[in-house]
Amino acid sequence: MKFYISTTGIKRVTISTTNSSAKGSTVATRRITRRTFLPVVLLLSIVLPFLFVRIAFLVLESASACNSALDCIGWGLLGGSEASLLREELTRALMEAKEGRGTNDGDYRTEGSTESFNVLVNEMTSNQQDIKTFAFRTKAMLSMMELKVQSAREQESINWHLASHGVPKSLHCLCLKLAEEYAVNAMARSHLPPPEYVSRLTDPSFHHVVLLTDNVLAASVVISSTVQHSANPEKLVFHIVTDKKTYIPMNAWFAINPIKSAAVEVKGLHQYDWSHEVNVHVKEMLEIHRLIWSHYNDNLRNANFQHEGVNRRSLEALTPSCLSLLNHLRIYIPELFPDLNKIVFLDEDVVVQHDMSSLWELDLNKKVVGAVVDSWCGDNCCPGKKYKDYLNFSYPIISSNFDHDRCVWLYGVNVFDLEAWRRVKITTNYHKWLKHNLNFGMELWQPGVHPPALLAFEGQVHPIDPSWHVGGLGYRPPQAHNIKMLGDAAVLHFSGPAKPWLDIGFPELRSLWNRHVNFSDKFIRKCRILG
């Protein structure tokens, strides 16, 4: 016997045996190479887990049908007739569970309150119950879990809207500090605007911007962002209308933080001397809106907010803005500013990113309002939803006069021709529709400012470029492909519950708003208003 060992490593061993009675020799050669070994290991790594899972499944599912685990493995792997019968039985049981058939269907649903699938499997195997029972109990368990998930989502949506109702502690603190400053600091009590700017308040050659708000911080962001991006800030005149309780802190803020070049007027509702007729109409309007809100809100509460169809629009019946006096008074802008003929209206929750001078030069083609109607979100996409999302088209008075699939125009960034408004009597038309809604049991529309405005301004809307107004930023965070669109927009509107000054505001959007907050101000720091 002779041994030959390769010098390149032990990759080949040759054993040679010589028999003296034979003339030849027999050589047996064996080779173990990587090319042979690796495919075998790879094949086993694929096959063995599959076999393990298959065996485990068969043992679990057929424990009650086999005498032993080995029997189950045997016929399961061989794919015998018993395996086919098991599959057929399981399929039939699942179909019956899906259709809810079976004599003891109600019993299965009662028993199917198991919350853990592992507990259910243990119960079924220990009691050796059949496949049909397992299928029905599994269906009952999944149905129960689905109901819980749906209920949790509805409650989350309700809580999200309720969280938007309160005034943050920091904003309340800011108003209190400014009111204290108004009492002790003569500069905070300065009349706005300064005497040298008073003549601008009614001068049509200036660019007049109107805000109706009781939020000091939000108003400061709107004005600072507008001035910052204006090509001619010296032509801007801001008219802030607020309520009596906010007038003092609002005046104090803009008195001790004056806006360079631009004129700012702060006026409280208590300073208006309206006629008896206007006062009566305003009270009547507010009462009808309160009745609509109460009617719709009571219906939701009686249904415990669980009825089918509760959605974002329905929950807006809970928002305080539906009862806000300042919100509803936008229909009285011509009465608030009798000496003005053309204004740009901005909501308190907007941020201006580009120069707005061209809006005052816009030709409205004898219409009353310029607003965004078409969408920046693509074809057949409405940025503010459609008429059917606001109005009840089951009533002929609505369905015969309006198209349910038409896109609505957006509030928040609007050009108003007040002269045309007075000429076509928009406010009178608005009151007419309020009385119609009262006569129809307050069912013509959901609570809010926008629905009756859609009816009152019908035929008087001039579409403006969609880039002027990107809204809905308080309902959802932007997607990655929309980031550039936000940068190109002239005005960002945080319409929706998630305002940027609230904790529920979207972090990815808050920076767009925070960049215009004066964090160096001592009152901002004392009240811990953080970005």
Q: Give me the pLDDT at residue 389, please.
A: 87
For residue 22, pLDDT beyond 50: no
Q: Which of 347-356, 357-366, 458-467, 498-507 has the lowest mean pLDDT?
A: 498-507
Place 504 in a pLDDT band, splitting at 50, 70 and 90.
confident
User: Rounded mean pLDDT of 178-187?
Assistant: 96
Dihedrals phi, psi of 240, to nearest 5 degrees: -100, 120
First to last CA, the chain: 88
Burial tier of 20 (Cβ tally within 10 Å: 0-12, 13-18, 19+): exposed
Q: If you search the block for the tokens 């083609």, which residue do you land on?
A: 365
Name which residue leads in pLDDT, 476 or 49. 476
- What pTM was computed for the model? 0.74
> What tens digit of pLDDT does each residue of 67-103 get?
444 444 444 444 445 556 656 666 666 666 555 554 4
Residue 164, CA distances (Å) to 102, 121, 502 in order: 48, 44, 7
pLDDT for the residue numbered 90:
61
Percent of the chain's residues with pLDDT above 90: 49
Local confidence band at 4 (pLDDT 50, 70, 90 cut-offs): very low
CATH class of 169-527: alpha beta
Range of weakest confidence among 80-94, 184-198, 381-395, 488-502 = 80-94
Compute the average pLDDT of residues 171-178. 96
Specify the range with the lowest mean pLDDT, choosing from 31-40, 44-53, 229-238, 425-434. 31-40
Exposure b/e, 187-216, CB count within 10 A at least 16 = b: ebeeebbeeebeebbeeeebbbbbbbbbbb
Residue 119 has pLDDT above 90, yes or no: no
241-285, pLDDT tens digit by residue?
999 999 999 999 999 999 988 999 999 999 999 999 999 999 999
Angle in degrees, CA 302, 305, 310, rounded to 5: 125
pLDDT at 376 over 90: no
Question: Is the predicted pLDDT of residue 120 greater than 80, yes or no?
Answer: no
pLDDT of 33 reads 56
Residue 530: what pLDDT?
Answer: 73
DSSP reduced 3-state for 212:
strand
The predicted structure's pLDDT at residue 151: 76
> Considering just the CA atoms, what is the radius of gyration of the chain in Å?
37
Residue 316: is its pLDDT beyond 70? no
Domain spans in the chain, listed from the N-terminal domain onward: 116-165, 169-527
Per-residue pLDDT at 382: 75
Are the C-beta atoms of residues 28 and 15 closer than 8 Å to each other?
yes
Dihedral angle of Cα 119, 121, 124, 128, to the nearest 10 degrees: -130
Q: Which has the closest alpha carbon to 321: 384, 412, 457?
A: 412
Mean pLDDT over each residue of the chain, to the nearest integer: 80
